[in-house]
Structure 1
Amino acid sequence: MGKDRKDSPAGSGKPASGKVDDRQARKAAALRENLRKRKAQQRGREEKPD
Structure 2
Amino acid sequence: MARRPKQTDKTTPAAGREDRLKAALKANMAKRKAQARARAEGRPGEDAGATDKNEG
User: For the superposition of Structure 1 and Structure 2, which TM-score range results when normalised by the shorter chain?
Assistant: 0.5 to 0.7
Structure 2: any 5+ residue segments left out of the alignment? 1-7, 44-56
Larger Rg: 2
- The 5 A counterparts of 1:8-47 are 15-47=10-42
Residue 42 of structure 1 and its aligned partner are, at CA, apart by: 0.2
User: What letter is aligned with 2:13?
Assistant: G
Tell me the percent identity: 11
More helix as a share of residues:
1
Name the SS for the 1:16 alignment partner. Answer: coil
Alignment deviations for residues 11-40 of structure 1 (CA, whole Å, 9 cap, x no partner)? 7xxx42111100000000000010000000
Which structure's relative contact order is higher, taking Cα pairs within 8 Å and 6+ residues apart?
A: 1
Q: What count of residue pairs does the alignment treat as equivalent?
A: 36
When the two chains are superposed, the root-mean-square deviation of aligned CA atoms in Å is: 2.0
